[in-house]
Structure 1
Amino acid sequence: MTSWTADELDRIGNATELRVASTRKDGTLRRYVIIWVVRAGDDLYIRSAFGTDNPWYRRAKTSGTGRIKAGGVERDVTFAEPAPDVHRSLDAAYHTKYDRYGEALVSPVVGPIAAEATLRLLPRD
């Protein structure tokens, strides 16, 4: 399995915004959606701000693959399930990185509903 380089982790993890596009059945990419991204250890995570019914999240879960752009890095990725014990650290990472934008914007990406709509980003060749 391919892993993130230290440079990719730093650049993507420090980026304020990430663009994510899921793959269609024919292999083409859907349009990019801008979301937030956090790093926990050597992993990168994204969450749907409005739960599992958000269209971009449903498409990503269905396709399982896509592409991201952030911090000058563009990579094909697999959307994977996060480990069940990672959510508390992800909540803390979202607060640390994004609290400057205010509670109204951060609260949709923390807590139990956001935890259900979390994807781990795995790089693909």
Structure 2
Amino acid sequence: MDAVMDRTDIVLWVRRADGRWSARTVWVVVLDGEAYIRSAFGRRSAWYRRVLRRAEVEVEGAGVRLSAGLRPVEDPELVRRVSDAYRAKYGLNWPGPVESMNAPEAAATTMRLTDLGQVAQLPA
């Protein structure tokens, strides 16, 4: 798991309704051993809407691919801490994108990666 979570970004694979997989590169932050992601474009993002309908996702980083679940974060204090983690990890190199990522619309999509497990093969 550390090989994935220590990355600057990860590839989030989301299963489409037709069974195919689509990939989206997302930033990841870790707080207290838990990994968090959010949609930079808030609820308008197609991958985010797909995740809400079908929770089947996989994450990939450093040549490792893991099955995962995503759970929405509703605790305002935790959402604030995730925003602080985004600012600390990415703010120096990408201040504009970080402010977009921490805007209310994007912050409302904060999700915790759960149930990380191995994936035997890459999707066709």
- Residue 21 of structure 1 is matched in structure 2 by 13
CA distance in 1, matches of 2:20, 2:93: 30
- Residue 60 of structure 2 is matched in structure 1 by 69
Richer in strand (by share): 2
Checking the alignment, whether the CA contact within 8 Å between 2:68 and 2:114 is kept in structure 1 is yes
1:19-60 alpha-carbon deviations (Å, 9 max, x no partner): 00112346x452211110111112111110011111111111
Q: How many residues align?
A: 116
For structure 2, the 5+ residue unaligned runs are 118-124
1:68-99 alpha-carbon deviations (Å, 9 max, x no partner): 10233311111111241311110111011111
Checking the alignment, whether the CA contact within 8 Å between 1:23 and 1:66 is kept in structure 2 is yes
- Residue 23 of structure 2 is matched in structure 1 by 32
Question: CA shift at 1:104, angstroms?
Answer: 1.5
CA distance in 2, matches of 1:120, 1:34: 16
State, as a whole percentage, how many aligned pairs show the same letter: 28
Richer in helix (by share): 1
- Residue 123 of structure 1 is matched in structure 2 by 115
| Stretches (4+) displaced over 4 A | none
For structure 1, the 5+ residue unaligned runs are 1-7
- TM-score w.r.t. the length of structure 2 is 0.82
Q: Partner amino acid for 1:77? A: A
- Residue 43 of structure 2 is matched in structure 1 by 52
Checking the alignment, whether the CA contact within 8 Å between 1:82 and 1:119 is kept in structure 2 is yes
SS in 2 for 1:92: helix
Checking the alignment, whether the CA contact within 8 Å between 2:16 and 2:22 is kept in structure 1 is no
Match of 2:3 among 11, 32, 50: 11
